[in-house]
Copies of this chain bind each other. A is one copy, B any other.
Amino acid sequence: MTKTIGILLFDDFEELDAVGPWEVLAYWTRTNPEDGWAVTTLSRDGTLVTAAKGLQLQPAHSYSDAPPLDVLIYPGGIGTRPHLKDEAQLEWVRRQRETVPLLTSVCTGSLVYAQAGLLKGRPATTHWAALELLQQLDPTLEPKPDARYVDDGDMITAAGVSAGIDMALHLIVRLKDADRAREVKRGIQYDPQPPV
């Protein structure tokens, strides 16, 4: 029985928030199907999505035809802001909490979890520029401004944009083991050397 990681797509999601983890996890699951995991993408209606910087992606599934998820990844981007006032979306998020064992976010995806009431009293992080808003949305949560990602058991929140790559490697450590994560890191030659 293959388990499924679903990456949420929506208009104005930030491109690397979703595609960073996608690369890490799809590299893993396609190279090692014997590990029993797969990764897919889903959006509300399954039609072409235009991301925050203009890239267009075709989700694999709509909410209604997506397989049951074992892990959800909620990316950030300016497109999360409308979700904060979208009761149907917040209700969908709360339903995921009831059925998906592990919820994760990248960047401002955690704002939506906070607004949905899923971060009450819990440690969490987000993009550095959204930490104040995160705490405004739920004053009971414990912001972790210095964390690259915060693993709080059934909830993992990552910092801004590129932090999703590190979180996805951590997911492989959790779902498989550190050796596999190292293999994927080597496969995508993730030995960062920022020139500035």
Taking Cβ atoms with an 8 Å cutoff, the residues of A that contact B are: 14-16, 19-20, 22-23, 26-27, 30, 41, 48, 53-58, 60, 107, 127-128, 148, 159-163, 165-166, 169-170, 173, 178, 181-182, 185, 187-196
Q: Is the CB of B195 within 8 A of A194?
A: no
Nearest chain B CB to A61's CB is how many angstroms away?
12
- Report the separation of the CA atoms of residues A60 and B55 in the bound assembly, to the nearest whole angstrom: 8
Contact B56 A57 (CB under 8 A): yes
Cβ-closest chain B residue relative to A184: B196
Which residues from B are CB-within-8-Å of A56? 57-58, 60
- What 10 A-B pairs are tightest by C-beta distance, nearest first? A160-B189, A26-B53, A16-B23, A192-B192, A56-B58, A161-B188, A19-B19, A148-B193, A181-B196, A162-B190
Say yes or no: A16-B15 contact (C-beta < 8 A), given A161-B189, A162-B165.
no
**A42 CB to nearest B CB, Å:** 13
Give A129 to B44 CA distance when docked, in angstroms. Answer: 39
Q: Which of B14, B165, B189 lies in contact with A192, CB distance below 8 A?
A: B165
CB of A80 to closest CB in B, whole Å: 15
Partner of A162, one of B54, B58, B170, B189: B189
Interface contact B188-A166, CB-CB below 8 Å: no
Interchain CB contact under 8 A, A23 and B53 = yes
A55 to B169, alpha carbons, bound, how many Å?
A: 19
* Identity of the chain B residue whose Cβ is nearest the Cβ of A50 in the assembled complex: B58
Cα distance, A193 to B20, chains bound together (Å)? 14
Contact B170 A188 (CB under 8 A): no
Most chain B CB within 10 A, of A20, A57, A170, A188, is at A188
Contact across chains for B195 and A170 when beta carbons are under 8 A apart: yes
